[in-house]
């Protein structure tokens, strides 16, 4: 099954988080949650979870495919709701149980943060900083964040957590 289509996992996350009134979901936050899912999968399991690349945009990592999905109707700061799930697509129901557990683990650790808090966190981490090396803080950038750097950075963090 892996790597999963980004929209499949996005729909799963949208449905899970919008059913919980404690969490609000904006496009920016959804992007960062999916980035952390990919990053930790690379670091922990040494495999891609999603079939997309993340670019080092001004406001943190962004998957262009997901951005394009909402582009016509939403900004990065627009709210995402159950109504934004593709009604004609139910592939999120076929996510493997073990993979759902992994998604839920990432959400348990990151969904409590706002989109801007997650953005700030990614800005302090090596993968995003390395991809934007030499680019000004407000300059546009579509440089792809290295999956090797993500694997190394989050793999080391995982080893520190578990030692």
Q: What is the pLDDT of residues 76-130, one digit of tens each?
A: 889 999 889 977 777 888 899 999 999 999 999 999 999 999 999 999 999 999 9
Coil, strand or helix at 72: coil
- Could you state, in order of their start, the residue ranges of all structural domains in the chain? 6-161
User: What pLDDT shows up at residue 129?
Assistant: 96
Using 50, 70 and 90 to split pLDDT, how confident is the model at 19? confident
User: What pLDDT shows up at residue 22?
Assistant: 62
Q: 1: number of CA atoms within 13 Å, CB side?
A: 15
Q: What is the 3-state secondary structure (H, E, C) of 11-67?
A: HHHHHHHHCCCCCCCEHHHHHHHHHHHHHHHHHHHCCCCECCCCEEECCEEECHHHH
Rounded Cα distance, 46 and 43, in Å: 6
What predicted TM-score, i.e. pTM, was given to this entire model?
A: 0.95
Rounded Cα distance, 13 and 7, in Å: 10
Q: What is the pLDDT of residues 33-70, one digit of tens each?
A: 999 999 999 999 999 999 999 999 999 999 999 999 99
């Amino acid at each position: 099954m892996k790597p999963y289509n980004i929209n499949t996992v996005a729909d799963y996350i949208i449905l899970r988080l919008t059913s919980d009134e404690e969490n609000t979901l904006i496009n920016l936050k959804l992007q960062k949650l999916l980035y952390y899912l990919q990053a930790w999968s690379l670091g922990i399991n040494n495999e891609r979870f999603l079939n997309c690349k993340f670019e080092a945009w001004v406001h943190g990592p962004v998957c262009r495919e997901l951005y394009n999905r909402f582009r016509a109707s939403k900004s990065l700061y627009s709210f995402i709701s159950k109504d934004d799930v593709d009604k004609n697509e139910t592939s999120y129901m076929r996510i493997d149980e073990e993979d759902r557990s992994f998604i839920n683990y990432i959400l348990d650790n990151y969904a409590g943060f706002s989109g801007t808090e997650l953005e700030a966190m990614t800005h302090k981490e090596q993968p995003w900083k390395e991809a934007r090396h030499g680019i000004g803080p407000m300059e546009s950038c579509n440089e792809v964040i290295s999956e090797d750097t993500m694997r190394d950075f989050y793999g080391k963090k995982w080893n520190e957590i578990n030692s």
